[in-house]
Structure 1
Amino acid sequence: MHIEFRHLRTIKAIHDTGGLARAADSLNITQSALSHQIKGIEDQAGVELFVRRSKPLRLSAAGMRLLAAAEAILPQVAALEAEFAGLVLGSAGRLHIAIECHACFEWLFPVLEAFRKAWPEVDV
């Protein structure tokens, strides 16, 4: 079985919005594409994710397990994406500095303090 982040976002969107049409809108895909995606996940896993004869649409036990995984994993993925964006923009990461003279410390430490305040996500 191969679960992708989009599958986790899909199950969460369906649960959060309460239906396929609203979930498809929130994911910016068609309802048909969403239905095909769900069918693909179910075929791969060999389980049904929804109780189809219920109004409103309800998650099955397997669907609830996938939702729990989505709710645990997606915030971690979002945090990782934000961290990577910080690295790309230069607002996070690590700065290595090497100096040889003791006199340099007199001007370096005040500058480093200002740098740390301006760039708290950068490890110096």
Structure 2
Amino acid sequence: MKSVIRCERGSATVEFVALALPLFVPIIFFLHQFASVSGQEEIARTLAREGARAFVTSSNQSSAAAAMNAVIFRAGRELGLKEDEFELMAINLECSSSPCYSPNGKIVVTVHFGASKESRAVTASAQEYISPWS
């Protein structure tokens, strides 16, 4: 009977499961959440940057905002956004001058994804300047 109690074969496995595994679960959960938010932040930065480029490369004021929105929605589809994510998205355009499409004008495009059950709110901005020769 004493030889069974002294045998420590397999005790390292039991200690690992009992002590270390509960510590790894929160770390794995945190890393998953961090990767998810980082991916959504990258998508928001890309959409803001591409939208700002589309605005400043347009030929006039009337087509600039439409081009910006079209590029943002098309790029969002290419990046794998689903319809419910588009519903959470808000686009804001800030201009340094009036009208927006003025030579040397600074344009700031902000893309915001509202919080949902699966993710937190994410906001990204990009700025571009309209050509002084336009």
> Please, what TM-score do these two structures have when normalized by structure 1?
0.33
User: Which protein is richer in strand relative to its size?
Assistant: 2
User: Which protein is richer in helix relative to its size?
Assistant: 1
Q: Larger radius of gyration, structure 1 or 2?
A: 2
Return the structure number with greater relative CO, CA threshold 8 A, min gap 6.
2
> Please, what TM-score do these two structures have when normalized by structure 2?
0.32
